[in-house]
């Protein structure tokens, strides 16, 4: 009889048993259901918060006496309220960013709302790009003329440069004593990383149709001729700024020019300089707007309630509370272009 060889390794471990396929499929279904349930609950919470936001004025814990949303059905004479907060550009990086066109549309919608006899523009902005600021300025003046409706600007923490530019299109300006305003002027920021590129061995070779096609390039130093060209653009845009203030505020140019060296002012200093019409708070602004609009008695305030925009703002606050990419590029000084913007704002 032949002897069987001895198994020195001992008993071999059995391969693990695979769970039945129906068990794996069931587990996956449970996980999917849980995931959809969590997503559904979160969506419901956002919707509920949006409803609460619609029923209450934006940025307020609740309504003050006499306040109502734009969705209200009341046709009594009211003062409309539109907020312009943040850096002003024509549009943003995301589809739902508020830009000059969106703000202009909301101002027009408020003017078209039944019963609105005057509008408050709640401005808290350091300004923005030249084109966007000029767009808002023109639209504000157009709405005033087309609807024969007074518009009062109310300054918040900051209403500088382009923020002041758009306010000059309004009938009156009310500022807090400590508001930072002014910064009348233009800036064109050009970054230069030529030194950094040389250290890491990176070099660009532009092929261009003309000697100034890459003016403002951050990969090389600016020439004197290019600096003169850009300074000419700055000077022209600066004169446009002064003309807009002179037209909107009915101020002579020789009174504006000494104030327009780029410095900032408190609301108190701005009042002394004739840059604003009154110092006060939101109630004072509403009272002034109501008076200009011919509203008798204590006025009601009708705040904008763009449901879609408010929902997207709420969504953004959950996932991007730090601000938009455009805002951060601007704050870091990495967004180039011609701007009516206070560069010291962070």
Distance CA 262, CA 160 (A): 10
Q: 69: part of which helix (H) or strand (E)? A: strand 67-69
User: Would you please indicate which residues are annotated as catalytic (active-site) residues?
Assistant: 161, 213
Q: How many CB atoms lie within 10 A of CB 119?
A: 29
Residues listed for the chain: 346
Helical residues (DSSP H) of 56-67, grouped into ranges? none
> Is the predicted pLDDT of residue 30 greater than 80, yes or no?
no
Distance CA 258, CA 260 (A): 6
Q: For residue 304, give the 3-state DSSP assignment.
A: coil
206 or 79: which leads in pLDDT:
79
Burial class (CB in 10 A: 0-12, 13-18, 19+), 120: buried
| pLDDT of 161 | 97
Q: 341: part of which helix (H) or strand (E)? A: strand 337-341
Distance CA 344, CA 9 (A): 77
334 or 122: which leads in pLDDT:
122
**Residue 123 · residue 159 · CB < 8 Å:** yes
Task: Give the contacts of 14 (CB within 8 A, at least 6 positions apart).
Answer: none
Q: 80: part of which helix (H) or strand (E)? A: strand 78-85
Please give the average per-residue pLDDT across 85-107, as a whole number. 79
- Give the domains, in start order, of the chain with CATH numbers: 63-186+261-341 (3.90.226.10)
Distance CA 321, CA 325 (A): 11
Please give the average per-residue pLDDT across 161-184, as a whole number. 98
| pLDDT of 7 | 54
Pick the closest to residue 112 from 149, 139, 153 (CA basis): 149
> Is the predicted pLDDT of residue 223 greater than 80, yes or no?
yes
| pLDDT of 200 | 83
Pick the closest to residue 130 from 346, 283, 340, 299 (CA basis): 340
Strands (E), 86-179: 116-125, 127-129, 151-160, 172-175
Distance CA 275, CA 255 (A): 10
Distance CA 295, CA 289 (A): 9
Q: Which of 63-77, 78-92, 214-228 has the lowest mean pLDDT?
A: 63-77
Torsion angle in degrees (nearest 10) through CA of 317, 318, 321, 327:
-60
pTM: 0.73
∠ CA(100), CA(101), CA(103), 5° rounding?
65
DSSP conformation letters of 56-118:
S-TT-SSPPTTEEETT----S-EEEEEEEES-B-SS-SSTT---HHHHHHHHHHHHHSTTEEE
Give the pLDDT confidence of 303-319 residue by residue, as tens digits: 876 555 555 555 544 44
Distance CA 10, CA 179 (A): 85
Tokens of 86: 């943040």
Maximum alpha-carbon separation in the chain:
124
290 to each of 106, 219, 239, how far by Cα in Å? 20, 55, 34
Please give the average per-residue pLDDT across 313-332, as a whole number. 48
Q: Which of 50-64, 169-183, 275-289 has the lowest mean pLDDT?
A: 50-64
> Is the predicted pLDDT of residue 192 greater than 80, yes or no?
no
User: Rg of the chain over CA atoms, in angstroms?
Assistant: 29
> Is the predicted pLDDT of residue 79 greater than 70, yes or no?
yes
Q: Find tokens 């180039």 and name the residue.
A: 336
């Amino acid at each position: 009889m032949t002897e069987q060889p001895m198994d020195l390794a001992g008993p071999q471990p059995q391969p693990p048993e695979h769970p039945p396929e129906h068990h794996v499929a069931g587990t996956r279904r449970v996980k999917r259901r849980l995931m959809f349930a969590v997503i559904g609950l979160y969506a419901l919470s956002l919707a509920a918060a949006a409803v609460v936001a619609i029923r209450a004025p934006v940025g307020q814990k609740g309504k003050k006496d006499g306040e109502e949303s734009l969705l209200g059905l009341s046709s009594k004479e009211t003062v409309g309220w539109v907020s312009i907060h943040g850096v002003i550009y024509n549009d943003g990086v995301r589809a739902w960013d508020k830009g000059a066109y969106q703000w202009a549309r909301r101002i027009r919608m408020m003017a078209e709302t039944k019963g609105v006899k005057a509008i408050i523009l709640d401005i808290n902005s350091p300004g923005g790009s030249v084109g966007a600021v000029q767009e808002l300025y023109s639209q504000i003046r157009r709405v005033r003329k087309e609807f024969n409706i007074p518009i009062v600007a109310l300054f918040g923490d900051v209403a500088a440069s382009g923020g002041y530019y758009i306010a000059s299109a309004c009938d009156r300006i009310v500022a807090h004593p400590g508001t930072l305003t002014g910064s009348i002027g233009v800036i064109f920021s050009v970054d230069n990383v030529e030194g950094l590129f040389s250290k890491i061995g990176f070099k660009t070779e532009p092929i261009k149709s003309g000697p100034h096609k890459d003016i403002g390039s951050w990969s090389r130093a600016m020439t004197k001729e290019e600096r003169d060209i850009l300074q000419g653009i700055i000077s022209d845009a600066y004169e446009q700024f002064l003309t807009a203030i002179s037209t909107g505020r009915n101020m002579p140019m020789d009174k504006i020019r000494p104030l327009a060296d780029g410095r900032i002012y408190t609301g108190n200093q701005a009042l002394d300089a004739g840059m604003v019409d009154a110092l006060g708070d939101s109630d004072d602004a509403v009272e002034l707007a109501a008076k200009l609009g011919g509203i008798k008695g204590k006025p009601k305030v009708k705040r904008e309630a763009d449901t879609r925009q408010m929902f997207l703002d709420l969504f953004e606050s959950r996932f991007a509370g730090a601000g938009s990419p455009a805002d951060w590029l601007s704050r870091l000084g990495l967004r180039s272009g011609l701007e009516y913007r206070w560069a010291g704002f962070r």
